[in-house]
Structure 1
Amino acid sequence: MIDTLTGTWGTVQLIIQGALVVWALVGLVLAALPPASAYSVEGKWPKPAWIAICAVAALLFAIRPLGFLGIIAMVAVGVFFADVRPAVGGRRR
């Protein structure tokens, strides 16, 4: 039903979908920047895994952002930004 919305609600869905795709693509770029060793030193999943997670999330957001897999993708990208990114590439004190 949400795929067939028109007018204002359709525009809101399109904006949300675009924002989610951009969010996942930014995650993909930020996952690619730190060296692979930073992931293993911090005890996180390997660099290629996080790159793949963000790439698949961007694809899922482009296809159907508010479906069941889209919700799982939101959680995965959120984990990257909340836990992994600060550990492997965040500001060091």
Structure 2
Amino acid sequence: MRYKNTKTGAIIDSSFKIVGKYWQEFNHKEEPEKVETNEEYIEEEVNLEEMTKAELIELAKEHDIEVNEKDTKSVIIEAITKAFE
């Protein structure tokens, strides 16, 4: 049988029955159900120049942007800006 996690969208095959809050049987012929989220995308303008180097490094980590913590603040800002282009 094939199962789909309605929270993550992961699909797995298993010969065993899977039971759980987010798991449901998945049939290829059916269109996957859309998962409703209460999250709303809000674009926020951030002034990187006003942030501290530590804040910039944290921001980079949150967005999986690789930066060298030994780099200068301007190099880190450049890396973050480039990643969001």
TM-score, structure 2 normalization: 0.25
Q: Whose helix proportion is higher, 1 or 2?
A: 1
Identify which of structures 1 and 2 has the higher relative contact order when contacts are C-alpha pairs closer than 8 Å and 6+ apart: 1
Q: Whose strand proportion is higher, 1 or 2?
A: 2
TM-score, structure 1 normalization: 0.23
